[in-house]
């Protein structure tokens, strides 16, 4: 009896430390539900109207300023095309790549309407010639 209480308490402390919620009314943890939900990988490739190194750096900086710290983001990165990788399989028609992995599609959907995301678009869209978005699911 005492051992099961210690085990339950340790499990609860681990869940709290991981930022997970426990639903005691159903006797289950949202950990199980979260484990079933796929992560959403959001890759965006920006082709600039004027792809100078300065403009590429400005857009990369704007990605970090407006898009990095959203709820549900598991991984974030943004940066320029790697110029020295020029194999036949490399796609090279962009200047900046943005890569965001969300814990769930729900987190992605909230991000899409977030004020800072919309501000990023408003401020930077005039500099874009083309934007390609690749969204995929992944196992958590």
**For residues 54 and 75, is the Cβ–Cβ distance under 8 A?**
no
Q: Which of 105, 116, 90 is nearest to 140 (CA)?
A: 105
36/75: higher pLDDT: 75
Q: Which of 51, 67, 57 is nearest to 99 (CA)?
A: 67
73 and 8, same domain (yes or no)? no
Does 23 have pLDDT greater than 80? no
21 and 81, same domain (yes or no)? no
DSSP state of 137: E
Q: Which domain holds residue 88?
A: 37-138
Q: So what's the pLDDT on residue 80?
A: 98
Domain total in the chain: 2
State the DSSP string of 31-91.
Answer: HHHHHHSPEEEEEEEEEESS--HHHHHHHHHHHHHHHSS-TTEEEEEEEE--TT---TT--
61 and 102, same domain (yes or no)? yes
**pLDDT-derived band at 35, boundaries 50, 70, 90:** low
Query: pLDDT tens-digit profile of 49-102?
Result: 999 999 999 999 999 999 999 999 999 999 999 999 999 999 999 999 999 999
Average pLDDT over residues 4-13: 41
Using alpha carbons, list the distances in angstroms from residue 89 to 52, 86, 97, 101.
24, 8, 17, 24
What's the mean pLDDT when you consider all of the chain? Answer: 84
The pair of three-digit structure tokens given for residue 54, joined into one six-digit string: 């300065």
Q: Which of 64, 59, 135 is nearest to 94 (CA)?
A: 59
Q: Residue 106: which CATH number?
A: 3.30.70.100
53 and 100, same domain (yes or no)? yes
Please state at what angle helix 115-124 crosses helix 53-67, rounded to 10 degrees. 160
Query: pLDDT tens-digit profile of 88-131?
Result: 999 999 999 999 999 999 999 999 999 999 999 999 999 999 99
Q: How many CB atoms lie within 10 A of CB 118?
A: 12
């Amino acid at each position: 009896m005492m051992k099961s209480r210690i085990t339950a308490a340790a499990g609860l402390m681990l869940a709290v430390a991981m930022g997970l919620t426990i639903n005691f009314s159903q006797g289950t943890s949202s950990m199980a539900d979260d484990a079933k939900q796929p992560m959403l990988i959001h890759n965006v490739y920006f082709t600039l109207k004027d792809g100078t190194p300065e403009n590429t750096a400005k857009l990369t900086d704007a990605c970090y300023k407006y898009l990095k710290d959203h709820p549900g983001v598991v991984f974030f990165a943004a940066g320029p095309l790697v110029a020295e990788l020029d194999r036949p399989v490399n796609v090279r028609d962009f200047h900046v790549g943005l890569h965001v992995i969300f814990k769930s599609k729900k987190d992605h959907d909230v991000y899409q309407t977030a004020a800072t995301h919309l501000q990023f678009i408003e401020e930077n869209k005039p500099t874009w010639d083309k934007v390609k978005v690749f969204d995929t699911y992944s196992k958590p």
